[in-house]
Structure formats: C-alpha cells, structure tokens
Amino acid sequence: MHIMITGAAGMVGRKLVEKLAGTRTLAGAPLERLTLLDVIEPAAPAGFAGTVQRQAIDLATPGVAQTLVESRPEVIIHLAAIVSGEAEMDFEKGYRVNLDGTRQILEAIRLAGQKDGWCPRFIFASSIGVFGGALPALIEDDYVLTPQTSYGAQKTMCELLLADYTRRGFIHGIGIRLPTICVRPGKPNRAASGFFSGIIREPLTGKEAILPVGTDVRHWMASPRSAVGFLMHAIELDLARLGNRPNLTMPGLSVTVGEQIAALERVAGHKAVALIRPEPDAMIDHIVREWPQAFNPARALSLGFRAESRFDEIIKVFVEDELGGRVP
C-alpha cells in the first residue's frame, strides 16, 4: 500500500507518520510506501522499512496537484490547511489554500482516473468549525452546518466537494471532523482555543498558564492520539458503510474548563493548578462560547471511531507521549 499525506509536517501529520512508520500491514495489505508533503519538508520517520518520499511543496500552486497524482497512491490523507486564525486574517489565502488547494487535488485525481480508472481512498481532515451560530447544547449528526469563520466555510465546502466526487465515483471519500485537539504539545500560540491546551501543558512543565475564560466554558476535545486513531481507522474502514453521507463528526469528550482543572489537580496536584492564572478576556470568552459544546456522534461511534471518555485520560496521553510518562 502507498499512502500520501499532505500537511505531514503539522502536529497531527507528524504523529500520524510516526504511527504509520511502525505499521506493517493495513487492511490486510503491506504498507510499502509513504509520500510526505508539506510547505516545509517533513521529517523522515524513524524505523519505517518501506520507501519514504518527502517533498516541500505548495499544493495551492496551479499545476502542483497534477504532478502529485502521477504516483497513484492507494490512499491520500489530506491534512494540509491554514488554521482558522490565519484564514480569518487573510481572506484570500484561506480560500486559496483551504478551498482551491483541496479542489485542485480532487480535480487532478478525477482527471487521472479518467485515463486509467484510478480511484483512491481520500481521507479529509475537517473540523468541528463547520458548526457555528446559535448551536444547541447537544449537536446531532443531522444538524445544519452554518460555520461562523472563513475556515469553517472552507472546510464545509471541501466536505461538499468530497461528497460529490465520491458520489460521482471519482474518489472513495471520507471526511473526518476533528474535535479541538487537546493537549497540543509545543509552545503557547495565539489561537483563541490555545488556552484549552495551555492550562494543562504549561503547569505540567512548571510554567504559568493564562486562563482567559470562565471555568463554566464547555467544549469538545480529543487527544492527538485519538486524532491519529481516527485517521488510522479511516484507512481501514469499509466506506460502503457511510452510505450517501461521507462526512462524520468524530467522537470526543464534552468537558468544562473547571473539569479540566479538576483532572489536572488529580494528576499533578495543587501546585500545578496554582500555576493557572485567571486573566479574563471578554473577546476570547465571547468567541469560545459560540463554539460547539457537545455532540452526539452516533454515526461515527457505530462505525467504530473511538475517543477518550474522561479528561484524566487526555492528560495521561500527554504525559505518556510528550513527557516520557513522568509527571514532574
């Protein structure tokens, strides 16, 4: 099997590549080749016995997508995107990368498939950002998508392309709406959602973290390990089971900031919690209160997708995967 990954140098991409590097067979076929793409050259995974090709490219550049499909991978995992903050700041870049970039890959696949019948599995990383604006407390699988960011609009449009290209037989598509990923490793960033990870990651490494919202704020989260698990499951899933709705809200954990902090105290004690400094920011508070709070992802659960069910597990994943298993 040959798997191509766009956005392979991103946080989820790197962890997915690491997981794949340790995988010998998928859906009964030997994993022989990985093609890793990003705007910067992705790192080579350790311990992979097969062939790895790595390339720094901008997928939104016209003509690039046509060259990529020449190797006819069986599976394409499309993670590449600019994040919601940047898509909101730079309107043109957001549409160019997130919408046109995706469409150009899909078009290149369609045109290549017209020649030789190639029809790859296409796994698209969507986002719960497709939901927005006066949401119910619990969002069902058949709830309307009314995104309130340009990023969300672009992801929704890509979901529609994915569904139409799948229906027409050009790809075998599946769209994976990722929850907010927590705990994100790395440095604090300026994303409005950054504090959900920051209030866990920073105290666990002895640093102060800012909490800009009230502890009653509720949101939908899953660990990086779960995100990789969703994508691995999507590689092997029988896509006929998706029927005519190939885009799925992934499972996650609905948790309040207060519950996050209580879990942190159970794992790392009061000295960790004491490093969280409340510094209310009305704008961030307003933004995150418009985000989804909880889903009933019945379809994804019935298809075997799984995430954490307690926030303690999410912290445990961070401690194991990023801190070598030790709570400082």
**Active-site residue list:** 151
Q: Which is nearer to a copy of itself, 150 or 197 (CB)?
A: 150
Q: Which is nearer to a copy of itself, 165 or 230 (CB)?
A: 165
The answer to whether the beta carbons of residues 171 and 121 sit under 8 Å apart is: yes
Q: Is 283 an interacting residue with respect to a copy of itself (CB under 8 A)?
A: no
Residue from 3, 4, 163, 264 touching a copy of itself (CB under 8 A): that is 163
Q: Is 141 an interacting residue with respect to a copy of itself (CB under 8 A)?
A: yes
Burial of 274 (0-12, 13-18, 19+ CB in 10 A): exposed
Q: Is the alpha carbon torsion for 310, 312, 318, 320 positive or negative?
A: negative
Could you say which residues in the range 50-89 bind a copy of itself, by CB under 8 A?
Answer: none
Q: Is 206 an interacting residue with respect to a copy of itself (CB under 8 A)?
A: no
What are the backbone dihedrals phi and psi of residue 117, each rounded to the nearest 5 degrees, phi first?
A: 80, 5
Which listed range, 118-126, 153-161, 188-196, 220-228, lies at the site for a copy of itself (CB under 8 A)? 153-161
Paired tokens of 103: 């469409």
Q: Is 146 an interacting residue with respect to a copy of itself (CB under 8 A)?
A: yes
Which listed range, 31-39, 134-142, 253-261, 316-324, lies at the site for a copy of itself (CB under 8 A)? 134-142
Paired tokens of 22: 């340790």
Q: Is 167 an interacting residue with respect to a copy of itself (CB under 8 A)?
A: yes
Q: Which residue bears the tokens 């909880």? A: 294
Q: Is 168 an interacting residue with respect to a copy of itself (CB under 8 A)?
A: yes
Q: Which is nearer to a copy of itself, 157 or 239 (CB)?
A: 157
Which listed range, 33-41, 49-57, 149-157, 304-312, lies at the site for a copy of itself (CB under 8 A)? 149-157
Q: Under DSSP, is residue 172 helix (H, G, I), strand (E, B) or coil?
A: strand
The answer to whether the beta carbons of residues 263 and 311 sit under 8 Å apart is: yes
**CB of 227 vs a copy of itself, minimal distance in Å:** 23
Residues β-bridged to residue 219: 255
H or E, element range at 253: strand 253-256
**CB of 142 vs a copy of itself, minimal distance in Å:** 5
**CB of 43 vs a copy of itself, minimal distance in Å:** 35
Could you say which residues in the range 208-247 bind a copy of itself, by CB under 8 A?
Answer: 243-245
Per-residue b/e over 206-242, b at no fewer than 16 CB within 10 Å? eeebbbbbeeebbbbbbbbbbbbbbbbbbbebebeeb
**CB of 149 vs a copy of itself, minimal distance in Å:** 8
Q: Which residue bears the tokens 């075997």? A: 304
Q: What is the DSSP letter of 318?
A: H
The answer to whether the beta carbons of residues 68 and 120 sit under 8 Å apart is: no
Greatest distance between any 2 Cα atoms in the chain: 63
**CB of 132 vs a copy of itself, minimal distance in Å:** 8
Q: Is 157 an interacting residue with respect to a copy of itself (CB under 8 A)?
A: yes
**CB of 296 vs a copy of itself, minimal distance in Å:** 13
**Interface contacts to a copy of itself, rule CB under 8 A:** 91, 110, 132-134, 141-148, 150, 153, 156-157, 160-161, 163-164, 167-168, 243-245
